[in-house]
Amino acid sequence: MAWSIAEVARMSKVTSRTLRHYDEIGLLPPAWTGSNGHRYYEEAGLLRLQQILLMRELGLGLREIRAVLDSRLDQVAVLREHHRRLLAERDRLETLARTVGRTIAELEEGGGNGKMTRINKPENLFDGFQAPSETEAEVRERWPRAWEQTQQAVGAMTTEDTERWQREVTAQMIRMAEFMVAGTPVSDPAVQAEVDVNHRQISRFWTPDAAAYKGVGQTYVDDPRMRANFDKIAEGLAVYQRDAMAVYADARLS
């Protein structure tokens, strides 16, 4: 079965102009083009479009999306991990919503003056909030000045700055995953060039020396949340990134 470009645009809420652009850049070619010049898509194209839209929602640019789709990464595994994380975040936000709703109700019971008559269960005030990991606390303790500088720099970023930075970081992780899947040694110049991108990204907030930079790489492996961010792209990427950073630190920062 096939669908015209107009039907795909209607189903996906993506304009026909955007679909034509995806075709022109080789991101989403149609199954065939009719004699009337209209593009037609089959099921494989619809599934590819779904992946494109999902990765757009996650902040990736079109170049990075094409790299993922054209790479040898297990796309089903990537999607499955994205799905798991989205469900987990949904559950956390639902818990936060219940927490805030319960607090509103208790404040209203107190007369709406911002004071509660009493707090039945104080721990309920904090349901859904994420605690910093042990690794994060260790970083804060070992490098307090760097931590302070980073928090100040992050606090000064606009939403647009943050989204742009996240896209850059994700794109760098994807490129590293491609090297890893290809079996490229971490000492390879091309890999080290990508590590230099990572170092410059970190240096926007603070400038780590060799020991600190290796420490950051180790947190990618030791911190469950950080490791998940890497391994959702490709299993083992956190370890590969850490090892590449260690080579970079010895060669460039010592």
- pLDDT score of 10 more than 80: yes
Question: What is the per-residue pLDDT across 227-247, written as a single tens digit (0 to 9) for each?
Answer: 887 887 788 899 999 999 999
The rounded distance, in Å, linking the Cα atoms of 76 and 12 is 20
Alpha carbons 27 and 167: distance in angstroms, whole number:
18
Q: Is 32 helix (H, G, I), strand (E, B) or coil?
A: strand
**Residue that wins the pLDDT comparison between 149 and 250:** 250
Q: Sketch the domain layout of the chain as residue ranges.
A: 3-57, 74-130, 132-254
CA distances from 112 to 63, 100, 126, 141 (A): 52, 15, 21, 41
Which of 44-53, 65-74, 171-180 shows the lowest mean pLDDT across its residues?
Answer: 65-74
Please give the pLDDT value at position 130: 47
- What are the distances in angstroms from CA 154 to CA 57, 158, 175, 205, 226? 22, 9, 24, 8, 17
Tell me the average pLDDT across 209-222.
88
pLDDT, position 150: 60
Indicate if 132-254 has the same CATH topology as 3-57: no
Find out if CATH 1.10.1660.10 is the number for domain 3-57.
yes
Judge whether residue 173 has pLDDT over 70: yes
Q: Determine contact, residues 4/11, Cβ cutoff 8 Å.
A: no
C-beta separation of 25 from 62 below 8 A = yes
Closest to 62 in 3D by CA, of 74, 53, 72: 53
The string of DSSP codes covering 114-155 is S--S--S-GGGGGTTPPPPPHHHHHHHHH-HHHHHHHHHHHH
Q: What is the pLDDT of residue 224?
A: 80
pLDDT at position 129 is: 46
Going from the C-alpha of 10 to that of each of 2, 6, 19, 144, the distances in angstroms are 14, 6, 11, 53
Does the pLDDT value for residue 148 go beyond 90?
no
For 132-254, CATH number? 1.10.490.50
Strand, helix or coil for residue 195: helix
Share of the chain above pLDDT 90, in %: 21
Is pLDDT of 76 > 80? no
Average pLDDT rounded to a whole number, residues 244-253: 94
In the predicted structure, residue 186 carries a pLDDT above the cut 70: yes
CB contact set of 182 (below 8 Å; sequence gap of 6+): 72
